[in-house]
Chains A and B, each alone.
Chain A
Amino acid sequence: SAVISQKPSRDICQRGTSLTIQCQVDSQVTMMFWYRQQPGQSLTLIATANQGSEATYESGFVIDKFPISRPNLTFSTLTVSNMSPEDSSIYLCSVSGGRTEQYFGPGTRLTVT
């Protein structure tokens, strides 16, 4: 399985600001995914990031709010823009494991005040 790291592990931000979350994988992967887990809730996919192409966003998520970069096969960033308290969540990146499973990073806990 891939080893995935995320930075920062947690942050407290003021409303109206932006935060960029980094996801680093120890091997080259084609597909990376970004999920949001709101407090006490399940995981919801924000977008799929394929290297060399624009990210594909799920219904309810837009690029202006959650811009994603995927500059190479081991790295991706997710930015949460113009934050509000409703954006307080855990944000997780994952990668396809080569078969059909996905492996997850440790998550970034974001609190917006």
Chain B
Amino acid sequence: AQTVTQSQPEMSVQEAETVTLSCTYDTSENNYYLFWYKQPPSRQMILVIRQEAYKQQNATENRFSVNFQKAAKSFSLKISDSQLGDTAMYFCAYSTGTASKLTFGTGTRLQVTL
């Protein structure tokens, strides 16, 4: 069974600084997809970024980028120029395809401070 591990329960970063959230996963599949979701206090789950395992290039979305290391089964999220609105729970998730369920990690609570 696929598992997703987030080893940092909580992190804090100052506004305008850069922070990296860690995620590792375990799978025997060769084709799969990885995601980072953000859940602010409003509890709405928001897709931050996605990565296809078959792509070597790391995904980027504005201030958000990933470091995808397929051999190490590692998928970290880097947030640059952190903003107060980035304060949220961040979940790493795994899927094998369009009709497949998402398997979530336990989450990292990120606090952005002044």
Contacts and interface: CB of A to CB of B under 8 A. Distances in A.
Contacts of B98: 31, 96, 98-100
Nearest first, the 6 closest Cβ-Cβ pairs linking A and B are A104-B45, A100-B33, A42-B104, A45-B101, A43-B104, A107-B43
B48 to A, nearest CB: 10
A103 B38 CA distance: 12
Contact of B91 (A30, A33, A43, A90): A43
A42 B91 contact: yes
A45 B102 contact: yes
Interface class of chain B by DSSP: loop
Interface residues of A, number: 26
B72 interface: no
Contact of A90 (B43, B95, B106): B43
Interface residues of B, number: 23
B95 A33 contact: no
Interface of A: 1, 30-31, 33, 41-45, 48, 58, 90, 92, 94, 96-104, 106-107, 109
B107 A42 contact: yes
A43 B95 CA distance: 14
Nearest to B107: A42
A94 to B, nearest CB: 8
A100 B59 CA distance: 15
Nearest to B106: A42
B42 interface: yes
Interface of B: 33, 35, 37, 42-47, 50, 52, 91, 95, 97-102, 104-107
A6 B41 CA distance: 17
6 contacts: A42-B91, A96-B98, A100-B100, A101-B35, A101-B47, A106-B44
Nearest to B95: A100
A58 B101 CA distance: 10
Contacts of B35: 101
Nearest to A92: B45
A56 to B, nearest CB: 9
